Chains A and B, each alone.
Chain A
Amino acid sequence: MVHCFLIHTICPINVLGAGESRVLYSRVFGPDENTLDGDLGPEERRLLQKEKLLVVARQVRSAVALSREASGQVVVETVPGEEGVALMEADSGVLRLRAGDPFSGERSALWLGIQSLGFTLVCEPHENLLLAEGTLRNLARHCLEHLHMLASGSEVLLKSDRIDVLLSRLLPHGQLLFLNHRFVQSLEKEVTAYMAK
C-alpha cells in the first residue's frame, strides 16, 4: 500500500531556508493514520499531516542533494519535448523512514529526482519496491508530459486534477498494480482522453 505521493522541489529556493522544500502536490491515500489512534481535532489532524509530509519532503531533498554531490553529477536542464531524456537521466533512490520519524510505523520513501523537482512515493516497508519503482517512473513520465513540467509554467499547481485522475487509474487508493503493457495502454487511453478536455 502506498501511503502518499508527493511532488516537491529539490533545488534551493530563495525565499525558503537552506534545505527546505516546497510541496507542489501531495496526496495521502486512505484514512489519516492520526485519526484512528489519536484524539486530536480534525483541524489539528490536517495540520499534523501536512507537517509530516513536509518532513518527508525535506528528508528527500537532503537525500537527493547528498546523492548528487557524491556522484558528482551535473544537473542538465532539458527542454520540453525531451521528457524521455529527462527521465533517463533522473536520479533515484530509496530512503528509510524510521518508525516515529515522521510516521508512526516504519516506511520507505522511494524518490525520483528530475532536475529541480522530486517525485516521492512513501510505501510500507514490505512493499514490492520493484513494482513501486516502475509505477513511480510511469507516474513521473505522465506528469512531465501532461503538465509540461519541463517548461516554466505552473500547471502542476493549476491542473492538479490531472494528477488526481492519473493516480486514480495507475495507483487507485494507493494500490500498486501489476500491469502489463496492454493494461497500461488501456488505462493510458483513458487518461489521455481526460487530459484532452
Chain B
Amino acid sequence: MYSHGSESLIKQAREIQEPELQKFYSRIAKLLQGREYGHETIDSLQRLYLILSATKYTRMLPSELQKRLLSLLLSSSVEQLQVLCSAVLRETLPPSGQELNFNQDTSSLLSSHAAVLLLSQTGSRGDLSCLSAQLLRSLEGRPSEGPAHSLTHTLPIINTILTHSPECLTEDHVTLLSKKLVDWLRYASIQQGGGASSGGFFTGPRSRQPGPIAELDGTVSGDFFTVLCVGQGFTEDQWMNVYSFSMLRHWLLTYNSTSGGHTTGDTDDRSEVDGSVVSMVSATSSSSRLLPPKERLREKAFQYCQRLIEQSDRKAQKRTDTELQKACLVEAVCILDSVCVEDASLVYRAFPCVKALYGRLSSDLSFARVLLPIAQFYLNHGEMAAVDCECVWKLVFGRFPAELFNDHFLAHELLQFLRQNLGNLQLRVPQYISSFPNLLKFLAWDSPAVVDDFVDLLPSLVTAGTAVELLHSLLDLPCLSATLVLQLRSMYFPISEPGGRGLLSLEAFRSPSYRGLFLFLLRGEAGSGDTIARLNKLHELLAEAVDWARVVQCAQTVPVLLHVYFNTVITVADEKLLAQLILVLLERSSLLFNIPKYIKEIHRVFSCHLLRLCKLRPSLVVDQSHELLEFAGTTANVFSKEDVFTHVVWVLGEYLSVSSDSRCSVELITSCFESLEAVLFEVTSSAPPPGEAHAAPRVITSLMSALAKLASRSHDLIPRVSLFLSKLRTVTRGGSVPWCSNEEDIAAVVTRGEELWSLLKVPSVAQIVLTPPPHVTTPQWHRDTNAAMPLQLRALTSLTQSH
C-alpha cells in the first residue's frame, strides 16, 4: 500500500530547491490567468498542495498567486478548483495585511470550502464572533436564496465555533438558533422529497407525487421525521433535521450549563417555581408553545429521543441501519440524561422509557455499549426516581468485564465511565471496589491500551479491605492474561485436537483437577481469599505462556501499577496492614511467574518500596524481625533474590535498634547478627552454587555494614566483626578468591572492610556514625538555636554587603 513511489514523492516535495519552486509558482500563476482550467492546471495545483503540505515548515506563496487563488476560491463554481484552492491556501500563510476579512457581507454566499479556510485562519475570538453573526444572519433570511449547500453546512460550522469558544454566540443568537432547531427537529416535512435522480437538496414541482416517509423496516411512518426515517429523496428541512440532531447533544451541553449559572443567589427558589410551572405545561405538548425557546428545545429534544428509542426497536432492513440504530440509542439516552440533569422534573417522564429500554437490551450482550449510557442515566437519576439499580451494576461490573474483556471499544468506554464518575461510584456503588478482579481482566487482556486508565483508577481500588488481595492480583496479572487467552481458545476450539498438537496449558485449563486454580484467577469478586496455595503449580502449568506476546505486554505494565499501588497504600494502611504487606513482599519475591526480566523488575519495585515502608515506620522492622531474619538468613536468597536481599539486610542494619522501637532487645540484635554473620561467612568462603553468578560486591558490603551497625549497638559483638574483617583483608591479599572474579570489586569490598574496621576501633564514634541519633538524621537547622545563629548572621552580612 505504501510504496517507494510515495516515499520519493514526499522527499522530492520537501527538497525542492527555491529557484525551481519560484519557476513553478510563476507557471501556475500563468495557468490560472486563463479562463479554462484543464488537467494541467488541476495537476499543478495538486502538486503545489503536496509541496506545501509535505513539510512542517511554512512556505510562503508570492502575493499575486495568493490573491489569485483566493479570488478563485470565492468566485469559481467548479468544486474541484474550490477544493484545491482552499487546501493550498490552508497550508500557507497570507502575507500580513492580507488576512481574510471577516466582516465581508459576501460571506452569506460562502461555500463550504471557503468556510474551511476562514475557520483555519481565524486569529482570535473576535473573528469567530463575526463569523457566527454572519452565519446566523444567513439563517434568518429565507432559505431558498443562495445555493443549497450554503445552508446545510452552517450548522457544522456553528458547532465548531461552539467547541472552541461558546461565548461567541450572543443570547439573541442562542434564542434564534434554539427556535430554528425546534422547527427542524420537530416540524420537518413528512413527505418524501421527490426527484431522486437529481440527488440534490431541492425538490421541484415537476417531480412525481412524493409519498410519505417510511420507517427503517419499510412500514409507513406515523409520526414526525427523524434520522431513522427513509424516503426516495429528501427535502431541505429533512436534511436540516439530520444536521440538527447531529449537533443537538453538544448544543444542549454547551448552553444548558451556562443558562443556570447566571444568578447565584436565588437560583434554588427560581428553579423550584419554574420547575413546577414547566412540569405542568410539558405534560401537554400543545401548550409547550408557551415555554421560552431554550426550554421548548429541551422539550422537543426529549420527544425526539423518545421517538428514536421507539424506532430503534424496529428491525432495519440494512445492516448499516442497524448500526445506526445503536448509535442513535446511545445518543438519545445521553441527551435524555443531560436534559434531565437540567430539568429534574423530566426524570419522571424519562425513567419509564429508559427502564423499558434497559429491559429490552439487558440480556443481549451485543448491545453492551448502549447499556453504558443507560448505566450513566441510572447513576445520575436513579436515586431521585427511587429505582433499584442493583441489576445494572451487576451487568456493568459483572457480566461485561467477565464476558466482553476483549472488546476494545467497550473496555475504553467502560473505563472512561468509571473515570468520569469515580466520586459517585465510590460513594454509592459498593460493587465497584469489590469487583476489581473483574475489572483487572480488561488490563490483563489489552494492557497497552488501558494501562493509562488504570493508572488513574487504581488508587480508588486500594482500600484497607482490598489491599492484600489486590497486591496478589496485580502480581498475578500475567497469569490472568494467559488464562484469558486459554479461556477464549477453549471457547473457539471446544474439542481437543486429536493429533496432540494442542497446548499443554490448554489441557491443564480443561482438566478438572486444576479447575480450581484457574477459576480463582477468573473470579469476579473480591473477598474469597487473597491468593491460592498452589501458586507454584499454576506457574508450572502456564509455563509455555511466558513468551506469548499478550502475556509479555501485560508483564511490562505490572511494575508501573505496583508503584501506583504502593504510593496509594501507604496513605490508607495502618501499621498492621503495612506489616502484612511486608510479609507479602517477602513471600511473593520467590513466587513470581517466570517471564524473562519480569522477576528482576518486580524485585526492584519491591526493594524500593520496602525501603520506603521501613523509613516511614521504622518500628515495622522490629515487629517483623522474625520473618525478615528468616529471609536474610537464607543464603540461597543472596543469589536468587539479590536486590530484595540487599535491601532487607540494609533495613535490618539500619532500623533494628532501640531508637526505632523500644522493644528491640540485646538478644534480638545478637540473633540478627549471628544470622547475617553466618551468611557472610558462607558467601565469602566458597564459590557460588553451580548455575549462579557471583554475588555482587554490593551484597557483601551491605552485609558487612549491617554487621558493623549491629555491633555498634551491642559492643560485645565488635571483636567478632573486627576479626572477620581482618581475616578478609588477609585472604584477599593472596590474590584471587573463589567468591569474586573481578579485581576492582574485590578492592571495593576490601576498602569498605578496612573503613569499618578502623571505625569499630573506636566504639563510641562508631555508635554515633553507624547509629546516628534522630536529631542528626532529621536536621532542622532553621529551628535549632545553635545552628540558626550562623545562618542569620550570614544572611545579614550578605544583605549589608550588597549595599
Find out whether the CB atom of A130 lies under 8 angstroms from the CB atom of B326: yes
Residue A76 at the chain B interface, CB threshold 8 Å: no
- The answer, among A1, A67, A124, A130, for a CB contact under 8 Å with B327, is A130
Contact of B245 among A66, A124, A178 (CB under 8 A): A178
Report the separation of the CA atoms of residues A54 and B54 in the bound assembly, to the nearest whole angstrom. 12
Tell me if B1 and A150 are in contact (CB < 8 A). yes
Residue B124 contacts which of A35, A108, A124 (CB distance < 8 angstroms)? A35
Q: Is B50's CB under 8 angstroms from A172's CB? A: no
B448:A175 contact, CB within 8 angstroms: no
**Residues of B1-33 contacting chain A, CB below 8 A:** 1-3, 5-7, 9-10
Name which residue of chain B comes closest to A151, CB basis. Answer: B1
Fill in one digit per residue for A22-45: 1 if any B CB lies within 8 Å of its CB, else 0.
101010111111011000001100
State which residues 86-104 of A face B: CB under 8 Å.
92-96, 98
**B379 proximal to A (CB < 8 A):** no
Q: When the two chains form their complex, are residues B163 and A178 in contact, meaning their CB atoms are under 8 A apart?
A: no
Pick out which of these stretches binds chain A: B139-147, B225-233, B520-528, B789-797.
Answer: B225-233
Task: Say whether B324 contacts A134, CB under 8 Å.
Answer: yes
- A47-B57, A96-B412 known; A35-B123 Cβ under 8 A: yes
- Residues in B with CB closer than 8 Å to A9 are 2
Q: A34 → chain B, closest Cβ, in Å?
A: 11
Do residues B323 and A130 form an inter-chain contact, with CB atoms below 8 A?
yes
The answer to whether the Cβ of B119 comes within 8 Å of any Cβ in the partner chain is yes
Contact B230 A180 (CB under 8 A): yes
Contact B6 A156 (CB under 8 A): yes
CB pair B1–A115 under 8 Å, yes or no, is yes
A-B contacts counted at CB < 8 A amount to 234
Least distance between A118 CB and chain B CB atoms (Å): 10
Which A residues touch B327, using CB under 8 A? 128, 130-131, 134, 178
> With A70-B553, A128-B327, A174-B160 known to touch, is A32 a contact of B120 (CB < 8 Å)?
yes
Q: How far is the CB of A151 from chain B (nearest CB, A)?
A: 8
Chain B residue contacts of A54, Cβ below 8 A: 56
A84 to chain B, nearest CB (A): 13
A158 with B50: CB separation less than 8 A: yes
Query: Among the listed A13, A117, A178, which residue makes an inter-chain contact with B242, where contact means beta carbons less than 8 Å apart?
Result: A178
Shortest beta-carbon distance, A108 to chain B, in Å? 7
Could you tell me the distance in whole angstroms from the C-beta of B272 to the nearest C-beta in chain A?
A: 29
Partner of A190, one of B5, B164, B199, B246: B199
Question: How many angstroms from the CA of A173 to the CA of B326 in the assembled complex?
Answer: 24
Please give, as numbers and ranges, the residues of chain B lying within 8 Å of A74 by CB-CB distance: none
Given A29-B160, A181-B318, decide whether A175 and B83 contact each other with a Cβ distance below 8 A. Answer: no
Chain A proximity of B124: nearest CB distance (Å):
7
- Indicate if the CB atoms of A161 and B83 lie closer than 8 Å: yes
A145 within 8 A of B: no
Distance of A80 from chain B, by nearest CB (Å): 10
Contact assessment for A173 and B50 in the assembled complex, using a CB-CB cutoff below 8 Å = no
Chain A residues with Cβ below 8 Å from B163 are 1, 30, 124
Question: Are the CB atoms of B227 and A129 closer together than 8 Å?
Answer: no
Interface centre among B47, B246, B330 (most CB of A within 10 A): B246
Complex interface residues of chain B between 303 and 352 (CB less than 8 A to chain A): 318, 320-321, 323-324, 326-328, 330-331, 334
Given the complex, which residues of B lie within 8 Å of A55, measured CB to CB?
none
Is B446 an interface position by the 8 A CB rule?
A: yes
Contact B87 A179 (CB under 8 A): no
Interface contact A128-B153, CB-CB below 8 Å: no
Chain A neighbourhood of B247, CB < 8 A: 175
A15 proximity list for chain B (CB < 8 A): 7
Q: How far is the CB of B51 from chain A (nearest CB, A)?
A: 11
Q: Given contacts A72-B549, A116-B1, A172-B156, are A125 and B416 in contact (CB under 8 A)?
A: yes
Smallest Cβ-Cβ distance to A95: which chain B residue? B449
- Which A156-175 residues sit within 8 Å CB-CB of chain B? 156-161, 164-165, 168, 172-175
**Interface size range of chain A in the complex:** 35 or more
Whether A180 touches B452, Cβ cut-off 8 Å, given contacts A28-B120, A46-B58, A190-B199, is no
| Bound Cα distance from A43 to B94, whole angstroms | 11
**A24 and B1 alpha carbons, distance in the complex (Å):** 12
Contact indicator A130/B230 (Cβ below 8 Å)? no
CB atoms of A152 and B5 under 8 A apart: yes
| Cβ-closest chain A residue relative to B481 | A70
Contacting pair B227 A180 (CB below 8 A):
yes
Are A66 and B448 in contact (CB-based, < 8 A)?
Answer: yes
**Contact partners of A180 in chain B: CB under 8 A:** 216, 227-230, 320-321, 324
* Contact present for A66 and B156 (CB under 8 Å): no
The yes or no answer to B250 lying at the interface (CB within 8 A) is: yes
- Chain B residue at minimum C-beta to C-beta distance from A3: B163
CA distance A52 to B751 in the complex (A): 53
A31 pairs with B122, CB closer than 8 A: yes
Q: Which chain B residues (647-673) contact chain A, with CB distance < 8 Å? A: none
Tell whether A114 is near chain B: CB-to-CB under 8 Å: yes
The CA of A63 and the CA of B243, in the complex, are separated in Å by 33
B153 and A178 form a contact (CB under 8 A): no
- With CB as the reference atom, state the residue of chain A lying closest to B118: A31
CB-defined contacts of B229 to chain A, threshold 8 Å: 180
* B10 touches which of A22, A31, A129 (Cβ 8 Å): A22
Please tell me if the beta carbons of A176 and B10 are within 8 angstroms of each other in the complex.
no
A187 → chain B closest CB, angstroms: 9
Q: Given B9, B43, B160, B549, which contacts A154 in the complex, CB threshold below 8 Å? A: B9
How far does the Cβ of A49 sit from chain B's closest Cβ, in whole Å? 9
User: Is A31 in contact with B164, judged by CB distance below 8 angstroms?
Assistant: yes
B153, A11: Cβ atoms closer than 8 Å: no
Known: A42-B93, A157-B50. A152 touches B234 (CB 8 A): no
Inter-subunit contact A130/B2 (CB<8 Å)? no
Most buried by B among A63, A180, A184: A180
**B160 lies within 8 A of A13 (CB):** no
Is A128 touching B408 in the complex (CB atoms < 8 A)?
no
Give the distance to chain A from B315, nearest Cβ to Cβ, in Å: 14
| B15 smallest CB distance to A (angstroms) | 13
Smallest beta-carbon distance A140→chain B, Å: 12
B37-56 at interface with A (beta carbon < 8 Å)? 43, 46-47, 49-50, 53, 56
Q: Assess the B50–A96 pair: CB atoms within 8 A.
A: no
B115 at the A/B interface (Cβ < 8 Å)? yes
Say yes or no for A51: interface residue by CB 8 A criterion: yes
CB of B522 to closest CB in A, whole Å: 19
A17 interface residue per 8 A CB criterion: no
Residues in B whose Cβ lies below 8 Å from that of A66: 448-449, 553
List B residues 537-567 near A (Cβ within 8 Å).
549-550, 553
What residues on A are CB-neighbors of B120 within 8 Å?
Answer: 28, 30-32
| Contact B83–A164 (Cβ < 8 Å) | yes
* Contact A1 B250, beta carbon cutoff 8 Å: yes
- How far is B373's CA from A129's CA once the two chains are assembled, in angstroms? 12
- Chain B nearest Cβ from A23, distance in angstroms: 9
Q: How far is the CA of A23 from the CA of B86 in the complex (A)?
A: 20
Residues of B within 8 A of A124 (CB): 163
Given contacts A33-B164, A130-B369, A161-B46, contact A186 B233 (CB under 8 A): yes
Q: Contacts of A178 on B, CB cut-off 8 Å?
A: 227, 242, 245-246, 324, 327-328, 331
Residue of chain B at shortest CB distance from A162 = B83
Contacts A30-B160, A70-B550 given; does A160 touch B320 at CB 8 Å: no
Asked if residues A194 and B227 are in contact (CB atoms below 8 Å), the reply is: no
- Whether A173 and B1, one on each chain, are in contact in the complex, defined by CB atoms closer than 8 angstroms, is no
Whether A175 and B159, one on each chain, are in contact in the complex, defined by CB atoms closer than 8 angstroms, is: yes
A/B interface sample: 26 pairs, CB < 8 A: A22-B10, A30-B120, A31-B160, A32-B120, A36-B165, A47-B56, A47-B58, A50-B56, A70-B549, A95-B449, A96-B412, A96-B453, A128-B327, A129-B413, A154-B6, A157-B9, A158-B47, A164-B87, A168-B112, A177-B246, A178-B227, A178-B245, A179-B324, A180-B227, A180-B228, A183-B234
Given contact pairs A158-B46, A184-B320, a sample of 20 additional A-B residue pairs in the complex whose CB atoms are under 8 Å apart: A30-B119, A30-B161, A31-B128, A31-B164, A32-B122, A42-B93, A43-B57, A67-B408, A94-B409, A114-B1, A131-B330, A153-B3, A158-B9, A161-B83, A165-B83, A168-B153, A177-B246, A178-B242, A180-B228, A181-B318
Q: Identify the 8 closest CB pairs spanning chains A and B, nearest first.
A: A175-B156, A50-B56, A30-B160, A173-B156, A152-B3, A131-B327, A130-B327, A178-B227
